[in-house]
A and B are shown apart, each in its own frame.
Chain A
Amino acid sequence: EIVMTQSPATLSVSPGERATLFCRASQSVSSNLAWYQQKPGQAPRPLIYGASTRATGIPARFSGSGSGTEFTLTISSLQSEDFAVYYCQQYNNWPPFLTFGGGTKVEIK
């Protein structure tokens, strides 16, 4: 099983600042990685797939990078609506397996 580790667990950022979130895979997943945003009481919302391609309607301030085992989600200038929990998910060996990371909570500093 490929284990996805996200860091930090919590990130405190002021509005307007840059936020950088990390996701590490226990073995290479190529570019088969997605990022999701989840706000309280809501379903996860897809942000990025293929490690760096923004999903439909996602603002340009969200960007993804990386390949292999190391990935980064960057929010260039945090807006109030961006404070949420972010999950990475690998789908390199789909089917039959896929796994989520444990999440990073981005909170207001």
Chain B
Amino acid sequence: QLQLQESGPGLVKPSETLSLTCTVSGGSISSSSYYWGWIRQPPGKGLEWIGSMYYSGSTYYNPSLKSRVTISVDTSKTQFSLKLSSVTAADTAVYYCARQRPSYCSGTTCYSYWFDPWGQGTLVTVSS
């Protein structure tokens, strides 16, 4: 059964870079059928998609965060990572990693991706 686990510092200072890693177990991160994404949730608020990547290295980012986000993958370590630069208190949130799986595939092409499963999440607080 595929499992994801976020890890990284729980406290980051303003203006610094937030760095998190998602470790994938029970499956391959190199599969061509999936994307791998990051989602965050500020305390008491809703979900916000941050960005995603394909095993080949292609990346897709939320336009509102694009200038500050980098997502990369290390297939040899079955990990992918998130870096968010120039953080402020508004970046305080629980950060989740998740796999994006297709609703269906036709031949070698897959379509309609949704998030399943999710990691348990990790709280990152931005404060001096």
A interface vs B, CB < 8 Å? Answer: 1, 31-32, 34, 36, 42-46, 49-50, 53, 55, 87, 89, 91, 94-103
Q: How far is the CA of A97 from the CA of B50 in the complex (A)?
A: 10
Q: How many residues of B contact A (CB 8 A)?
A: 24
Chain A interface SS verdict (over half): loop
Determine which residue in B48, B58, B96, B112 has the highest number of CB atoms from chain A within 10 A of its CB, and name it: B112
- How many A-B residue contacts, CB cutoff 8 Å? 62
Q: How far is the CA of A31 from the CA of B104 in the complex (A)?
A: 12
Given contacts A36-B115, A96-B60, A97-B63, 18 further A-B contacts (CB under 8 A): A31-B112, A43-B96, A43-B119, A44-B115, A44-B118, A49-B103, A87-B46, A87-B47, A89-B115, A91-B114, A94-B112, A95-B35, A95-B60, A97-B60, A98-B49, A100-B46, A100-B48, A101-B46
Q: How far is the CA of A70 from the CA of B7 in the complex (A)?
A: 38
